[in-house]
Structure 1
Amino acid sequence: MGLECNSNRRKKVYVKDIKQAMKGRVRDGYTFNPECKISKEDPKYNPDPTANDKVHILLCVVDASAVSQMSPKAIETLQDIREEASDLDIPQVAILTKIDLICPEIKKDVKNVYRSKILKKRMEEFSAAVGYPMNSIFPVKNYHEEINFNSDIDSLILSSLRDIIDNLGQSEC
């Protein structure tokens, strides 16, 4: 479930549930419910979380083509979640997906990812809106039309994954 409200249903994720999950107070198997937040009486509520129960990194995944259309409420929610993660000393990173859909140069050749002014502008826009530093935002191209694996797409995804793992490792030192 995403953070955006569906205009027909007017439902959203409870940010307090996300905060409880980051603290390790939500057990595996809990189904987030936009109708009500988790209570201490819920069997999936964890009153005594261990270090293994707590979130070790906050990963925000955003469609690059949707960055400029993010609602003020979605931006506020992401900022609120980031602030809670900061208070809990949880490292934070973001992945911008579908980068080929916003830039014809990347669509032509994914190796152009770090040359793209369009992508850089979109990353800066997301950084300014939500607060992720530029060096914590990783662009990736999704597999959606490809029939076979592509080493350039894989390389970008694996590079992002390596940087995220490095980010996690540095925070625990």
Structure 2
Amino acid sequence: MSRKAGVANSGETQTKKYKTYRIQKDGQDTFCSLVLSDTMGLECNSNRRIKVYVKDIKRAMKGRVRDGYTFNPESKISKEDRYYNLAPTANDKVHVLVCVVDASTLSQMSPKAIETLQDIREEASDLDIPQVAILTKIDMICPEIKKDLRNVYRSKILKKKMEKFSAEVGIPMNCIFPVKNYHEENNFNSDIDSLILSALKDIIDNLGQSEC
């Protein structure tokens, strides 16, 4: 049985399709039980588009949206759509909701964006789906972290950002995971990998839980 993590991005994104990613086991023709499903990012440019986005996300969490569905900002998925799943199984449903947020633009989140995330979280809670958040680009908000990534848990700037996001959206501090993106590095970095793998481990630990 596979366990699915639904990844909702806060902010503009190039992702327009509901895309599922499977993790292949090293040197094998089999895949890990964890499945990642990416959604279109939250773009609060009109109330109508927000409502459509939220309805599609809610259906995706229930397993009603198939891999490959292209989000339409003007209309939600219909039961007649070939990507609408009329009979979702446990494997189709989302087991953990992951909200990915750019830490460098966190202070620019509009009240409507925050309200929308709260709405999605409430639906996830009603479905007994735990929720976590990943804060990306943390090196761009704090000179100490940029100098040495191992200062991540000593940074007062990052802590305040996490506390503010937690208070506004409702995701507990122990369910918010800071990570640094690969963007200039040419080689793998153990400190970057450590944060990413730590976040992934916590997401896996939350699979199947009723709350976070």
Q: TM-score, normalised by structure 1?
A: 0.92
Change (3 A) 1:22 1:61: same
Report how many aligned residue pairs link the two structures: 170
| Aligned counterpart, 1:28 | 67
2:209 and 2:85 map into 1 onto residues whose CA distance is: 28
Q: Which runs of 4+ in 1 moved over 6 A?
A: none
Q: TM-score, normalised by structure 2?
A: 0.76
CA contact (8 A) 2:129 2:209 kept: no
- Where does 1:110-129 land on structure 2 (aligned, <5 Å)? 110-129=149-168
1:152 and 1:33 map into 2 onto residues whose CA distance is: 39
Change (3 A) 1:43 1:130: same
| Aligned counterpart, 2:200 | 161
Match of 1:151 among 166, 186, 190: 190
Quick check: 1:131 aligned with 2:166? Answer: no
Residue identity over aligned pairs, in percent, reads 86
| Aligned counterpart, 1:70 | 109
RMSD over equivalenced CA pairs, Å: 1.7
> Cα deviation per residue 1:46-92 (whole Å; 9 max; x = unaligned)?
12111111111100000001111101111011000000000000011
2:182 and 2:151 map into 1 onto residues whose CA distance is: 17
- Where does 1:64-103 land on structure 2 (aligned, <5 Å)? 64-103=103-142
Compare the two structures and name the one with the higher helix fraction: 1
Gaps of 5+ in 2: 1-39
SS of equivalent residue, structure 2 residue 146: helix
Compare the two structures and name the one with the higher strand fraction: 2
2:190 and 2:210 map into 1 onto residues whose CA distance is: 30
CA contact (8 A) 1:65 1:98 kept: yes
Amino acid at match of 1:28: D
SS of equivalent residue, structure 1 residue 37: coil
Amino acid at match of 1:64: A
Gaps of 5+ in 1: none
| Aligned counterpart, 1:39 | 78
| Aligned counterpart, 2:56 | 17
